[in-house]
């Protein structure tokens, strides 16, 4: 966006490092990567350069929850992103620890209701160097006040043994930023040559590779994908863990931070789900040029001797050499309720916050927030309206709204179930939803925008053609009868199913002429199938074909969700002043006044999603706004 920027890190090795799972995407997370890409971000481009296995998840379900996941070459991912950062105009990468924010408090408490501690003027580092600037984005991951736990062994450290940031947390507390302790963990790494692959189930990548980035849609990937492997714990594994549970840092009381409910340690799984006879784990390679294998689903803070004992009970891992043990890491993060929807701090003006510092988990959630925080830092300095994505516009909007409106008491993870409009927020239409926004804010290049417009024109033209073109009655009936027959081919049908098939054939014989769009709405018919009777179809790539099919096949459901969004849009359009005195509004319940005063929602829509604010309170706010408008 043209702003001179410095990026600080305690160690160059931490740039785009994957301290936990060496993969990008997954359920819900794949949507975030596509959205970051649509807004001009680098994550999708980088994983497309460095993946070693690619897989589309949830393909047996509807398109709303299809999620792309790629196993990364960990070292290459780091190196490629580092190369990108170093080649980026207006960006300096500085290896030094930021220990203090320089804040001008001469106007503290004045003006903007949120600017209580003052305004950012720069940062001070461990080398006692001062860098002056107009805005700061904090994205400290798990480095801030980091402590690693392996049984009773406690080490002040960042992830993977890198140097932590030890002083900035205290400075943030002094400024009045609410800081909490969260915890996450990572499994052991094992030597690939010491595993018994015959005792595990092979997990291969997809035959047809789908890239993350829109810019790579026309690229044909022909690579030898590396397999992952599936195994399971058993009752012997669980007994060893339960017999030593008090030696876990989580259960001994050493760890005070709250861990992620949706990614629990193995001791948590075994303790909480004692009726389960086994838990699955995935053995995943960390790259092409490394001996390390990552044991997904087995994070732990048990001592090393216990880890050796329980890993040895798992099929395929009986003789595994552990190169680095599992550990838990505790770190400082901010209460996200202290943030505006733009991700600017309510306590320090021009201080923006992103990633795990905001109480989230995961690389994809961090990248999403980092991009939005950076965009909004520029918007603030240029006196532009911030980019606040709606819940019906992007998973990024769901993620940020959940954090700043509802808060979180554990490391937050995005999931498709959190999005009430997930049929609108599919992977295949991320570009359609967000590329124009990215172009407007200056993060999408001219080349990308041109390609997006060309794709949109091709897809829209094909949809219009399919909605108007009809096929002659005989061709249409023969086509449908062939597909009904082939669907039942080789399948042993019950008498009831045979009768149903005959009724379908009779219905088909009596069906009048239909458009190709109407034919495509039939469950058994795909866009590819239509090629048999459609000689005029244009050349589209796989992503374009998918988008055409989903828009037409789910047209009724999509329209229904759009109607629901429009009904609620009026609440999002009703603005609330940041300085509104909720205690002066008669009729609001005490809890609502307290919550509204603490969170300071910017719209009535945001206010309606705050826990403790009832529909009756929203009606009071609407009446108040109406009176204010009339009096003005």
pLDDT 10s digits, 303-316: 999 999 999 999 99
What are the tens digits of pLDDT across the range 435-487? Answer: 999 999 999 999 999 999 999 999 999 999 999 998 887 787 778 777 766 55
Q: In this structure, are 481 and 394 located in the same domain?
A: no
Residue that finishes a domain, picked among 269, 298, 330: 330
Average pLDDT score over residue span 398-406: 96
Q: In this structure, are 283 and 391 located in the same domain?
A: no
The C-alpha atoms of residue 598 and residue 337 are separated, in whole angstroms, by: 8
Q: In this structure, are 308 and 362 located in the same domain?
A: no
Q: In this structure, are 106 and 176 located in the same domain?
A: yes
Whether 563 is covered by a domain: the verdict is no
Q: Which residues contact 156 (CB under 8 A, 6 or more apart)?
A: 146, 147, 164, 166
Please name which of 212, 379, 260, 285 lies closest in space to residue 21, comparing C-alpha atoms.
285
pLDDT of residue 109: 62
Confidence of residue 324 (pLDDT cuts 50, 70, 90): very high
CATH of the domain at 51: 3.50.50.60
Residue that finishes a domain, picked among 420, 441, 462: 441
Which letter does DSSP use for residue 539 in this model? P
Q: In this structure, are 361 and 223 located in the same domain?
A: no
Q: Of 92-96, 207-211, 567-571, where does mean pLDDT reach its minimum? A: 567-571
Please name which of 232, 229, 297, 226 lies closest in space to residue 267, comparing C-alpha atoms.
297
Q: In this structure, are 224 and 307 located in the same domain?
A: yes
Q: Coil, strand or helix: which one is 6?
A: strand
The C-alpha atoms of residue 67 and residue 205 are separated, in whole angstroms, by: 14
Q: In this structure, are 481 and 596 located in the same domain?
A: no
The C-alpha atoms of residue 623 and residue 267 are separated, in whole angstroms, by: 52
Q: Coil, strand or helix: which one is 442?
A: coil
User: Are 203 and 228 in contact, with CB atoms under 8 Å apart?
Assistant: yes
Task: Identify the helix (H) or strand (E) that includes residue 40.
Answer: none
The C-alpha atoms of residue 308 and residue 318 are separated, in whole angstroms, by: 9
Per the listing, tokens 């780091």 go with: 78
Q: In this structure, are 27 and 83 located in the same domain?
A: yes
User: Are 605 and 568 in contact, with CB atoms under 8 Å apart?
Assistant: yes
CATH of the domain at 466: 1.10.10.1800
Average pLDDT score over residue span 534-547: 91
Q: Is the pLDDT of residue 545 over 60?
A: yes
Q: What single string gives the DSSP state of each residue in 83-152?
A: HHHHTSTTEEEEE--EEEEEEE-TTTTSSSTT-SSEEEEEEEETT--EEE-S-EEE--TT-BT-EEEETT
Q: In this structure, are 207 and 293 located in the same domain?
A: yes
Q: Which two tokens stand for residue 189?
A: 């790494």
Average pLDDT score over residue span 108-115: 56
Q: Is the pLDDT of residue 497 over 80?
A: no
Whether 386 is covered by a domain: the verdict is yes
pLDDT of residue 198: 97
Strands (E), 224-339: 228-232, 280-285, 292-296, 322-324, 327-334
The C-alpha atoms of residue 594 and residue 585 are separated, in whole angstroms, by: 12
Per the listing, tokens 């890190």 go with: 9
Q: Which two tokens stand for residue 521?
A: 């709405």
pLDDT of residue 256: 79
Q: In this structure, are 147 and 229 located in the same domain?
A: no
What backbone phi and psi angles, to 5 degrees, belong to 332? -90, 140
CATH of the domain at 617: 1.10.150.570
Radius of gyration for the chain, computed over Cα atoms and rounded to the nearest angstrom: 27
Confidence of residue 157 (pLDDT cuts 50, 70, 90): very high
Residue that finishes a domain, picked among 330, 347, 379: 330
Helices (H), 132-275: 168-174, 235-243, 249-252, 266-272
Q: Is the pLDDT of residue 499 over 80?
A: no
For the entire predicted model, the pTM comes to: 0.92
pLDDT of residue 618: 93
Confidence of residue 381 (pLDDT cuts 50, 70, 90): very high
Q: Where does residue 340 fall: left (phi above 0), alpha (psi -120 to 50 degrees), or beta otherwise?
A: beta
Confidence of residue 111 (pLDDT cuts 50, 70, 90): very low
Question: Could you tell me which residue, 473 or 299, shows the higher pLDDT?
Answer: 299
Measured CA distances, 71 to 51, 56, 85, 193 (Å): 6, 12, 22, 19
Percent helix, percent strand, percent coil in the chain, to nearest 5? 40, 20, 40
Number of independent structural domains in the chain: 4
Please name which of 428, 454, 399, 417 lies closest in space to residue 549, comparing C-alpha atoms.
428
CATH of the domain at 297: 2.40.30.260
The C-alpha atoms of residue 296 and residue 308 are separated, in whole angstroms, by: 16
Q: In this structure, are 433 and 381 located in the same domain?
A: yes
Residues, the chain: 632
Whether 564 is covered by a domain: the verdict is no
pLDDT of residue 501: 63
Whether 569 is covered by a domain: the verdict is no
Confidence of residue 583 (pLDDT cuts 50, 70, 90): very high
pLDDT of residue 154: 94
Q: In this structure, are 396 and 511 located in the same domain?
A: no
Q: Coil, strand or helix: which one is 599?
A: helix
**In terms of residue numbers, what domain contains 110?**
5-181+337-441
Mean pLDDT for the chain?
92
The C-alpha atoms of residue 121 and residue 47 are separated, in whole angstroms, by: 36
């Amino acid at each position: 966006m043209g702003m001179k920027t410095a990026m600080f890190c305690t160690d160059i090795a931490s740039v785009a490092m994957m301290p936990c799972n060496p993969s990008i995407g997954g359920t819900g997370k794949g949507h975030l990567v596509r959205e970051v890409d649509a807004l001009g971000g680098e994550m999708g481009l980088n994983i497309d350069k460095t993946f070693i296995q690619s897989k589309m998840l949830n393909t047996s379900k509807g398109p709303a929850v299809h999620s792309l996941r790629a196993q990364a070459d960990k070292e290459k991912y780091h190196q490629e992103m580092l190369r990108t950062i170093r080649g980026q105009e207006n960006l300096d990468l500085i290896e030094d620890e930021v220990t203090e924010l320089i804040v001008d408090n001469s106007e503290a408490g004045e003006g903007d209701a949120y600017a209580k501690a003052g305004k950012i003027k720069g940062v001070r580092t461990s080398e006692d160097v001062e860098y002056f600037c107009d805005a700061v984005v904090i994205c400290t991951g798990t480095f801030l006040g980091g402590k690693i736990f392996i049984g009773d062994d406690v080490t002040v450290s960042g992830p993977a043994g890198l140097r932590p940031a030890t002083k900035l947390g205290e400075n943030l507390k002094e400024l009045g930023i609410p800081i909490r302790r969260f915890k996450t963990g990572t499994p052991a790494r094992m030597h690939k040559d010491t595993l018994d692959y015959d005792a595990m189930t092979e997990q291969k990548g997809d035959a047809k590779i789908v890239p993350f980035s829109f810019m790579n849609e026309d690229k044909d990937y022909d690579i030898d994908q590396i397999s992952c492997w599936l195994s399971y714990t058993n009752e012997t594994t669980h007994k060893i863990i339960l017999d030593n549970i008090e030696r876990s840092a989580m259960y001994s009381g050493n760890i005070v931070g709250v861990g992620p409910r949706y990614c629990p340690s193995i001791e948590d799984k075994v303790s909480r789900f004692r009726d389960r006879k086994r838990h699955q784990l995935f053995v995943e390679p960390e790259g092409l040029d490394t001996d390390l294998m990552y044991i997904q689903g087995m994070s732990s803070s048990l001592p090393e001797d216990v880890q050796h004992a329980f890993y040895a009970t798992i099929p395929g891992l009986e003789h595994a050499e552990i190169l680095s043990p599992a550990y838990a890491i505790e770190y400082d993060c901010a209460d996200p309720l202290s943030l505006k929807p733009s991700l600017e701090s309510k306590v320090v003006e021009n201080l923006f916050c992103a990633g795990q510092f905001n109480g989230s988990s995961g690389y994809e959630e961090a990248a999403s927030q980092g991009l939005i925080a950076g965009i909004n830092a520029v918007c603030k300095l240029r006196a532009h309206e911030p980019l606040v994505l709606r819940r019906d516009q992007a998973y990024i909007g769901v993620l940020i709204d959940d954090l700043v409106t509802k808060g979180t008491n554990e490391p937050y993870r995005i999931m498709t179930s959190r999005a009430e409009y997930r049929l609108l927020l599919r992977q295949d239409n991320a570009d359609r939803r967000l590329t124009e926004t990215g172009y407007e804010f200056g993060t999408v290049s001219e080349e990308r925008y041109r390609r997006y417009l060309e794709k949109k024109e091709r897809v829209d033209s094909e949809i219009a053609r399919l909605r108007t073109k009809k096929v002659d009655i005989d061709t249409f009936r023969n086509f449908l009868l062939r597909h009904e027959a082939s669907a039942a081919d080789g399948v042993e049908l019950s008498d009831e199913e045979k009768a149903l098939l005959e009724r379908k054939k009779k219905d088909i014989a009596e069906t009048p002429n239909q458009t190709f769009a109407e034919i495509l709405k039939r469950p058994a018919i795909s866009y590819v199938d239509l090629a048999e009777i459609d000689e005029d179809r244009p050349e589209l790539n796989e992503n374009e074909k998918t988008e055409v099919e989903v828009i037409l096949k789910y047209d009724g459901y999509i329209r229904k969700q759009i109607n629901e969004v429009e009904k609620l849009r009026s609440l999002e359009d009703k603005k609330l002043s940041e300085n509104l005195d909720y205690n002066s509004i008669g009729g609001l319940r005490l809890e609502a006044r307290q919550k509204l005063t603490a969170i300071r929602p910017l719209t009535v829509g945001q206010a309606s999603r705050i826990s403790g604010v009832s529909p009756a309170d929203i009606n009071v706010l609407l009446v108040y706004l109406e009176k204010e408008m009339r009096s003005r």
